[in-house]
Structure 1
Amino acid sequence: MSLQRFCMRAMHTSRQLYAGATSGSGLEKSALAALRKKTGYTFSHCKKALELNDNNISMAEKWLHQQAQALGWSKATKVADRATAQGLIGVLVRGNRGAMVEINCETDFVARNDTFKRFVDHVARVCLYYTDLTEFDGDLWKLGFDSDALKNLPTEEGRTLGDHQALLIGALGENAAIRRALCFRVNNDLKLVGYAHPAPTNVGSTEDTTQVGKYGAIVAYRTEHRLLNYEFHKSICQQIVGLKPLKIGEYDKDQPAENKDEETCLIHQEYLLDADKTVGEVLQEYSTEVIDYHRFEIGERTERNLQEIIRSQHQSSN
């Protein structure tokens, strides 16, 4: 029996409870159909779960999750030393909160798998949930999570993200890692925009979308422009993803580099959508100021990045 079919929907089951059937073939068939619809597990596994739990759907579902998780942890232990150089960046922005996560796997084939993409979406939403709980008085707040911190985050149904990671490994049959996350929250007149590249694959509804790709960026900005122009602000994220500026830059302090290909200040870079203008000139046309940004790339070194996040958190709190 396929382990993937057994495990693949363990992270996305409903929390609704059904009354367990007590006797009669009609009730047993009804319980079996309900359990399969609720969990997505195979016929034989659902049948065994009901037999072992006297047709009580709630207990049978709990047993199925325990079995799936045990199989996942066993597989995770066996493949723990395998390199995870591939994966996806997930970017989720909802109003004044944003989360960007990196989830790794062994092969690009698995990174394109819908189960893997749903897991990236799940991690981003868990991070955003904890961002929603944060209260602060400043304009900008950022929090970075390393792998250990992420794996210990509890989820809605009582498991940790580490438990869900084990389920994913069991479902996909290869190693996977929750590597890092960065959460943004802004107040007052600041706004957020996010972008993932290449050609973002949407997970979720149009209004509440996790974008996934090999690169990602979140930008915090302020604008006095009369109309909010999502495509323009997204283009600034694309600029950051494509040209990797090291800092925003200051108009009256930073001099533009002689070689535009080596320009490290965002405002002095050639604007990707109009080579006749710099990013700074376009920002001024749109009465927009970039306040902060962060860029993720699959597999990049993270030590300096985490130090930058910690430093920016300290500066934002002062």
Structure 2
Amino acid sequence: MQRAVRVGLRPTLRWFRAAPPALAADKEALLKLRKSTGLPFTKCQEALRQCGGDVGQAELWLSARAREEGWRRAERLRVRRAQEGLLGVLQVGHCAVLLEVNCETDFVARNAVFQQLVRDATMGAMGHCRGTAPPPPPPAQSAS
């Protein structure tokens, strides 16, 4: 008499476990945080989850994370050499200043704001070398 042997036919039970209910970020709070920070929705949503839905705390949390990530990014870029830039040269009497300010792209070097930065830094270095304070910048014109 032969016996039938069941091999590998065990009743299969599957246990489904639902994840704990995630904190549903209030849509208005999410939109407010997104508008105030300009960061992507996913980062804003993560910040709201971490801070229990408090928008003020979420903004602080996001700014702290941005500083952390910014420093990490700056450390990575520190070893990369900036190949573009401008030279600021100024001679007054027997004093001369040669200042090099580097940047990563020629678009930045051609920017008027960057050029003004080089001028101001050169004037400041000359003032420091001569022992005089650089002239104060002109007052900002307010549109009335």
Q: Is 1:212 paired with 2:113?
A: yes
**Cα separation, 2, equivalents of 1:56 and 1:103:** 43
Is 1:313 aligned to residue 136 of structure 2? no
Cα deviation for residue 49 of structure 1 reads 0.4
Preserved CA contact (<8 Å) 1:86 1:108: yes
Shift of 1:312: 4.8
From the superposition, tell whether residues 85 and 44 of structure 1 become closer, same or farther in structure 2 (CA, over 3 Å). Answer: same
CA RMSD of aligned residues (A): 3.8
Question: 1-side partners of 2:85 and 2:32: how far apart?
Answer: 34
Q: Distance in 2 between matches of 1:66 and 1:103?
A: 29
Query: Structure 1 unaligned runs (5+)?
Result: 1-23, 89-101, 113-197, 202-210, 218-294
Aligned partner of 1:38 among 36, 39, 49:
36
Tell me which protein shows more strand as a share of its residues: 1
Offset of residue 38 of structure 1: 0.3
Query: Could you list the per-position Cα deviations for residues 184-235 of structure 1 after superposition, in whole angstroms to 9, with x for gaps in the alignment?
Result: xxxxxxxxxxxxxx6xx7xxxxxxxxx525x349xxxxxxxxxxxxxxxxxx
Measured at CA, do residues 212 and 43 of structure 1 come closer, stay the same or move farther in structure 2, by a change above 3 Å? same
How far 1:72 sits from its partner (Å)?
1.1
User: What residue in structure 2 maps to residue 72 of structure 1?
Assistant: 70
- Deviation at residue 47 of structure 1 after TM alignment: 0.5
Find the aligned partners of 1:63 and 1:103 in 2 and give their Cα distance: 34
Match of 1:221 in 2: none
* 1:79-90 correspondence to structure 2 within 5 Å: 79-86=77-84
**Counterpart Cα distance in 1 of 2:26 and 2:82:** 44
Partner residue in 2 for 1:105? 103
1:127-148: per-residue Cα shift (whole Å, max 9, x none)? xxxxxxxxxxxxxxxxxxxxxx
Deviation at 1:30, TM superposition (A): 0.6
Mapped partners of 2:101, 2:60: distance in 1? 27
Q: Which runs of 5+ in 2 are unaligned?
A: 1-22, 87-99, 136-144
Structure 1 match to 2:119: 296
Measure the CA separation in 2 of the matches of 1:63 and 1:43. 15
Aligned length, in residue pairs: 98
Deviation at residue 297 of structure 1 after TM alignment: 9.3
Query: Quick one: higher RCO (CA 8 Å, sep 6+), 1 or 2?
Result: 1
